[in-house]
């Protein structure tokens, strides 16, 4: 999700991992934090000046919870992800 979409995101929205379009695992957004710093985006591999760190609670069976990295043997249901790593399925109505 780009910065424009991430600004609209609210707690309670439904998301999925952006780089696995066929994944059935969905998560609920718990919170988001704006971070302004020069960094290399994890999934994009590009230099970015800002991002949103989004806290997601993943739903579904434990064996399908997304891993933070390949060495992650027991992934947590609650994870903090950069906005680039997620795609919105459903926004929360205000």
Write phi, then psi, for 34 (nearest 5 degrees): -80, 130
Give the model's pLDDT for residue 29.
97
Q: How far apart are CA 6 and CA 91, in angstroms?
A: 11
Q: How far apart are CA 31 and CA 57, in angstroms?
A: 10
Q: How far apart are CA 25 and CA 42, in angstroms?
A: 20
pLDDT digits (tens, 9 = 90+) for 28-83: 999 999 999 998 887 777 888 999 999 999 998 888 888 877 777 778 999 999 99
In the three-class reduction of DSSP (H, G, I as helix; E, B as strand; rest coil), residue 48 is classed as: strand
What pTM value is reported for the model?
0.88
**Statement: residue 23 has pLDDT above 70:** yes
More confident residue, 40 or 13: 13
Rg of the chain in Å (alpha carbons) = 13
């Amino acid at each position: 999700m780009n910065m424009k979409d991430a600004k609209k995101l609210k707690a309670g929205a439904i998301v999925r991992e952006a780089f696995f379009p066929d994944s059935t695992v969905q998560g609920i957004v718990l919170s988001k934090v704006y971070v302004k710093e020069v960094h290399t985006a994890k999934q994009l591999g590009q230099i970015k000046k800002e991002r949103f760190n989004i806290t997601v609670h993943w739903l579904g069976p434990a064996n399908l919870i997304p891993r933070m990295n390949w060495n992650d043997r027991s992934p947590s249901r609650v994870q903090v992800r950069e906005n680039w790593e997620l795609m919105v399925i459903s926004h929360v109505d205000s």
